[in-house]
Chains A and B, each alone.
Chain A
Amino acid sequence: MSMNRRQFIKIAGLSTLFGVAGKGAFEFLSPGVLDAAEHGHGAQVPEEPAEKAIRWGMTIDVEKCGEPGVVDKCIKACHSTHNIPDFGNSKNQVKWLWQDDYEHTFAGNENSYMDDHVKELPFLCLCNHCDEPPCVRVCPTKATFKRSDGIVAMDYHRCIGCRFCMAACPYGSRSFNWFDPRNALNEKEYNMEFPTRMRGVVEKCNFCVERLAKNQLPACVEAAPEALAFGNLADPDSNVRQILRKRSSMRRKLELGTKPSVFYLV
């Protein structure tokens, strides 16, 4: 069969395209169907009983945070439980929980003549696990996603490191691993039950989902129960709802419509 060079390249290219598109079409229309061959070897997952709605939330008593050592023990608990690296500079830093003052935590709501007391109080900043998170809206791979219990979770296996979520988060809650975090961790201080992350993925506070799965409170709450409370915002009788009925509270940047789940009791 006589064929010139152009025809050969056309046929080769089209064959490749159809091959790739075939698999791609399968994935797009029926995700996982082609990989399902080995499934079903007893992989039963227990049915979840129909539960009432859960929306996890946290209250932070700012006055109690002002007492010596409280904020530090929260941050230490969080960062040691989750093997959070310390790169030693603010450019590359990874932080899930940190403190800042009123003026910066509530940027845009500055009060020119503030009382000296609140001016000095430390405010714990973390991911707010918003009800309508902009970060989830922009993630192109659903690597960050909203769980049914309200927690905004991260799937480090899927994250491509595009950092769109970091641009979208109005609270600056997210950190990127600019370098390999294991270079900034002390091997002897690993929490052996929780992984580290790899470089090139974004991370943030995860409301300790791995601890919640074992019916434990988040590490920071456990470290400072006098200052932090964690509970189900959807249950009107939960601890956090009772607290919110009694104490006046604030949330960050409410005008942006994100509906954060972290309340500051002032």
Chain B
Amino acid sequence: MYDAWKILVGLAIFLGLFTFAFWMNAVNAGSVGKAAPVPEPKIDTPEINRMAKDERKCVEDKQFMRTTHMQLINDWRDEALRENNREYINEKGVKYVISLQNTCMKCHSNKKEFCDKCHDYAGVSPYCWDCHIVPPEEPKEEPKGNEL
């Protein structure tokens, strides 16, 4: 084989870079071959706890939200901001105000225990919260003034 050493060294570097994801993960997790635990987002927030058990409904049902909340939020963004339509009527005819900060995050005010759980697991970092303000961690009293 011509230039044998150059090829072997190049191959070694290539394999190292190619499997970067695997061994970097192992380094971070502290062991090889351990799967990350399935995420368990918690809905234990003051606002949700205030509601009666059978009234705890999100804008849409859980399965839909799991698969499609990204698309819904995208649609909401364009509807509210570009079409000036800030009212959403869900499958069951219930009306909601279109707002990430004031509707979604009002109930799901625990970003670290809810939103981040699945996002970290899936390795995505949506930039929503670069702008939209995350509710503070500690339970708040009733917000004053401009309530929706």
Instruction: Say if the two chains contact directly (CB < 8 Å).
Output: yes
CA distance A194 to B72 in the complex (A): 20
CA distance A107 to B86 in the complex (A): 39
Interface pair B130/A192, CB less than 8 Å apart? no
Q: Which of B75, B89, B90, B130 meets A39, CB within 8 Å?
A: B75
Interface residue A246 (Cβ < 8 Å from any Cβ of B): no
Interface mask (A38-50 → B, CB under 8 Å = 1, otherwise 0): 1101111110100
Give the shortest distance, in Å, between B148 (CB) and chain A (any CB): 7
Interface residue A156 (Cβ < 8 Å from any Cβ of B): yes
Interface mask (B56-85 → A, CB under 8 Å = 1, otherwise 0): 000010001001100110010101011111
CA distance A266 to B22 in the complex (A): 71
> Which residues in A have their C-beta under 8 angstroms from that of B81?
153, 155, 157
Interface pair A145/B82, CB less than 8 Å apart? yes
CA distance A48 to B87 in the complex (A): 11
> Which residues in A have their C-beta under 8 angstroms from that of B64?
41
Interface residue A190 (Cβ < 8 Å from any Cβ of B): yes
Interface residue B123 (Cβ < 8 Å from any Cβ of A): no
**CB within 8 Å of B: which A25-54 residues:** 35, 38-39, 41-46, 48
Interface pair A198/B130, CB less than 8 Å apart? yes
A-B contact count (CB 8 A): 67
Using a Cβ–Cβ cut-off of 8 Å, how many residues does chain A contribute to the interface with B? 31
Using a Cβ–Cβ cut-off of 8 Å, how many residues does chain B contribute to the interface with A? 32
> Which residues in A have their C-beta under 8 angstroms from that of B91?
41-42
Interface pair B132/A195, CB less than 8 Å apart? yes
A41-B91, A45-B89 in contact; A198/B131 too (CB < 8 A)?
Answer: yes
Specify the chain B residue showing the minimal Cβ separation from A180.
Answer: B130
Interface pair B133/A192, CB less than 8 Å apart? yes
**CB within 8 Å of B: which A135-175 residues:** 145, 147-149, 153, 155-157
Interface residue A196 (Cβ < 8 Å from any Cβ of B): yes
Interface residue B28 (Cβ < 8 Å from any Cβ of A): no
Interface residue A214 (Cβ < 8 Å from any Cβ of B): yes
Interface residue A209 (Cβ < 8 Å from any Cβ of B): yes
Interface residue A3 (Cβ < 8 Å from any Cβ of B): no
> Which residues in B have their C-beta under 8 angstroms from that of A196?
131, 133
Binding site for B on A (CB under 8 A): 35, 38-39, 41-46, 48, 83, 145, 147-149, 153, 155-157, 190, 192-198, 209, 213-214, 216
18 inter-chain pairs at a CB distance below 8 angstroms, sorted by A residue, are A38-B67, A39-B75, A41-B64, A42-B91, A43-B72, A43-B88, A45-B85, A46-B85, A46-B87, A48-B85, A145-B82, A149-B84, A153-B81, A157-B77, A193-B146, A195-B131, A195-B133, A213-B86
